[in-house]
Structure 1
Amino acid sequence: MRLYENEFIKFDDNTDNQKNLSDEDINKKYLLGESRIVTEQGRYPLDTIPVMIDSGKYKLNPDFQRRHRWNNQKKSRLIESFIMNVPIPPIFLYEDDYSHYEVMDGLQRLTAIDQFYKNKFKLEGLEYWEELNGRTYEELPIKIKQGIDRRYISSLILLQETAKSKSEARRMKQIVFERINNGGVKLEGQETRNALYNGPMNELCLSLSDNRYLKILIGVPIEDSYQNHIDYENDLMENELYSKMKDVEYVLRFFAMRQIDGYQGRTLNEFFDYYMKKANLYNENLLNDLKAEFERIIEFAYDLLGENAFYLWRKRNGKWNWLNKATTTVFDAIMYVLSELFEHKEKLLLINASIQEDLIKFYEKNYGYFEGRNNNKSNIEQRRELYRDFFTSYLEE
């Protein structure tokens, strides 16, 4: 496959090695304040949170945030904790401009408090105050409301003085985000990349994850198939591919696998991490070319193979059937080969029914290359070769 101009990435085995410093150098680094964070603390009465959020001084969705959102029961449990005066962890803010802040950690807590005071959900699933289930803030007994109003949520603020440049600010924010999330819910691979390596390529992957054909082919809800936006939002957040940013990783895989030689000697996550860091340096023209490449190939896959383009015909308990979800095993190889064969798109589409029918026989014949966890570089290249032979056989007729 031919890469675009300036697309090639040199994968250096030694790039991430730490520089050896003497004790004297280390002491100088510390005294100069390198990699040191300047903070201050704050406390906010709960009933001031809606005013705070509506002020426009707080950015609630920085690029490095995850997609997880709380359901009403989890929001209600937070409110119950305030009623009981259970200690709540502080929120983390970054002062990106004087008196303007990004919410680094605590988005769900702030959103839950704001929505509660605006009567946007009813309490549900309370364990110790079951008698309050079904009530909004406005409907609570006066003493309960007064008790909640006198609670506080604390904050830790990273001041603007922490960083001397925008790039350093991004690095420091990402470090803090990684550390404060290290003890909570384990971050998935793409969630970590989104936090630590955000940049133009990551933003492109985020944007392309909303591609209609990709959503159909991997099983992420599409809004125009719903009559109610709330139902769509709920289903979207319950979708594991979306909530864990695996849809974004599908896009990244397409780009990274174009340079699979960089996978050698690394784990898959290390390969994707390295690629993302380097690809964030791509220029705008190259990113536009890659965007167009992904969009035409994902549409080609849909038109050629239908909604189960990335499904695997597999054998279980002596019976053959379609695995009812997309797999990266299929996605990686098919997308690569269709990109190679795009110039033959029209000829292949004329016989797509025959191709889809014969694909079942293809998997039965070659199933050994697809079963299990065969995902090293040579396995991926073998599957590419199999698909390449399969599709090109129709061009020889």
Structure 2
Amino acid sequence: MTELDLDGDDVQSDAVDELPDELVDESEGDGKLTAEDVQDVLLYTLDWSVQSLLDRIGRTFDINPAFQRRDAWNAERKSRYIESLMLGLPVPQVVLAEDKHSKRFIVLDGKQRLVTMKQFGAPDGQFRAFRLRKLNFLEQLNGKKFDQIQKSSETAEWAESFLNQPVRTIVVRNWGKTEVLYEVFRRLNQGSLPLSPQELRQALFPGEFSTWINETSANSSAIQRARRLKREDFRMRDAELLLRSIAFQEAIESYDGNLREFLDRMCENGNANWASRREEYQKHAAATEKSIERTEMIFGAGNTFLRYIDGEHPEYVRRFNVAVFDLMCMVLSSPEVTDSIVEDHRDTFKHRFEELCLRDTEFSDALKSTTKTPRATARRIISFGRAVEEETGLSLSVVRRAETLIAHAPKH
């Protein structure tokens, strides 16, 4: 049995130079829900014993084992939670949603707690065991795994107490639209660490494509550099970044401004078509990484995916700008662009981007407000894409695709 090495901070540490987000587009919601959409939602409570939960985790409770590599808790925090269960101390409730199409439950809140229970009480090849450490009250259990505690006559009572402890769960039923679950998810996380909707998307749309997005982004040093992460992100911001890049490469012409639905649809289509289109999705991922490398070549690693602003001394805003990420990935992954072209023109590409930020009001506005609209999305790609065309003499297919998008986009 592999044992977790979980020394370190209370939660996963990102790189010291991680940048805050300048734009938070998807988690703002799209304002399409009404009172009628939510008034039929039903809630009911269930108290399951830990033993019952252990039997369900990974089966009817849909938790992808790949979630573990994005573990947010270290062994000390896991141990405190297990100690609370053993002693019957209050613990937060788990929030689930009934899946309308299967007999499984979607975990809306409490995934880390469920994973911790499983890793401790019923570890296997997917849920790896850990030893208790730094307990406040049950110091005699420090350094022990569950099977050791259970087999010892001196400590077996605590193993039994753990298994029999009831855990309150709230189940959401009759939720109708997936937008309802996103709204519940957002409200659960108000006032706490903001979580990416990507974690919920992974639960709503399980499949080989979704798993591949998770694993590929977790293993991509380029995506983590772009997002200023030290390792795979437990908030799944790296996974969402890869997904949106692939979605725009796949179907930018069909983007209608509802980013959440656009990304959901990409997951649905990707899962459905994985067997026949796997290689194409992998090419999109490779193109994403290549575009990140080319952006680094142009701007230097410190100034990638930032907005440039005027002032006494013009400078790059020290906040990650996902709109800049989108346009660089699209333009620099256009099939007509090569490494040698970027290397030959990197200074002029940088200069033209800065000029657009400072002199083109429509372009600069598309990087800082209403960035989800089809017109803003198309406009920033077209503006920078045409600058690249003028410098190189190329005709970029991505510019034509963005022009198709803007031709069908509403004027407002």
Instruction: Quote the Cα distance in structure 1 between the aligned partners of 2:130 and 2:210.
Output: 36
Task: Encode CA deviations 1:19-54: one digit per residue, 9 max, x unaligned.
Answer: xxxxxxxxxxxxxxxxxxxxx9974579xx8xx99x
**Does the aligned pair in 1 maintain the 2:222–2:289 contact within 8 Å?**
yes
Q: CA deviation at 1:287?
A: 2.7
TM-score with structure 2 setting the length? 0.57
- The RMSD of aligned alpha carbons is 4.9
Query: What is the number of equivalent residue pairs in this alignment?
Result: 310
> Residue 341 of structure 2 aligns with which residue?
347
- Is the 1:178–1:192 Cα contact (8 Å) retained in structure 2? yes
Q: In the aligned structure 2, how far is the partner of 1:119 from the partner of 1:204? A: 27
Select between 387-396 and 82-91 the one with higher mean Cα deviation: 82-91
Matched, 1:195 2:203: yes
Residue 372 of structure 1: aligned partner: 368
CA displacement at 1:356 relative to structure 2: 3.4
Corresponding position: 1:263 with 2:255: yes
Structure 1, gaps ≥5 residues long: 1-39, 95-101, 157-173, 223-235, 237-241
Structure 1 segment 112-261 matched on structure 2, within 5 A: 112=116, 120-123=131-134, 129=137, 135-136=142-143, 146-147=157-158, 149-151=160-162, 152-154=164-166, 184-185=188-189, 188-209=196-217, 210-222=219-231, 236=232, 242-258=233-249, 259-261=251-253
User: What are the Cα deviations for residues 231-290 of structure 1, in whole angstroms up to 9, with x where unaligned?
Assistant: xxxxx5xxxxx22212111112122224234332x5221222233223332253433123
CA distance in 2, matches of 1:252, 1:294: 9
Q: Deviations over 1:341-390 (max 9, x none)?
A: 53444223223244335543443233633453231110111101111122
1:81 aligns with 2:84: yes
- Name which of 51, 71, 85 aligns with 2:74: 71
Unaligned stretches of 5+ residues in structure 2? 1-45, 99-103, 122-128, 169-177, 395-412
- Report the residue type matching 1:74 in the other structure: R
Distance in 1 between the 2:385 and 2:391 partners? 10
Distance (Å, rounded) in 2 between the aligned partners of 1:115 and 1:65: 12
User: Could you say which residue in structure 1 is the equivalent of 2:400?
Assistant: none
1:277 matched to 2:274? The reply is: no
How far does residue 215 in structure 1 lie from its aligned partner after superposition?
Answer: 1.9
Aligned identity (percent) is 16
Separation (CA, whole Å) in 2 of partners of 1:271 and 1:216: 25
Quick one: structure 1 residues 319 and 84, their matched pair in 2 at CA, closer, same or farther if it must change by over 3 Å?
farther
Change (3 A) 1:65 1:206: closer
Contact 2:307 2:316 in 1 (8 A): yes
Q: Which whole-Å CA distance do the structure 1 matches of 2:182 and 2:365 have between them?
A: 37
Indicate the larger mover: 245-254 or 272-281: 272-281
Change (3 A) 1:272 1:387: same
TM-score, structure 1 normalization: 0.59
Aligned mates of 1:119, 1:190 — CA distance in 2: 27
Deviations 1:212-233 (A, max 9, x none): 22222222225xxxxxxxxxxx
Q: Are residues 178 and 73 of structure 1, via their aligned partners in 2, closer, same or farther at CA, if it must alter by over 3 Å?
A: farther
Bigger radius of gyration: 1
Residues 82, 393 of structure 1: CA spacing in aligned structure 2 closer, same or farther, 3 A cutoff? same
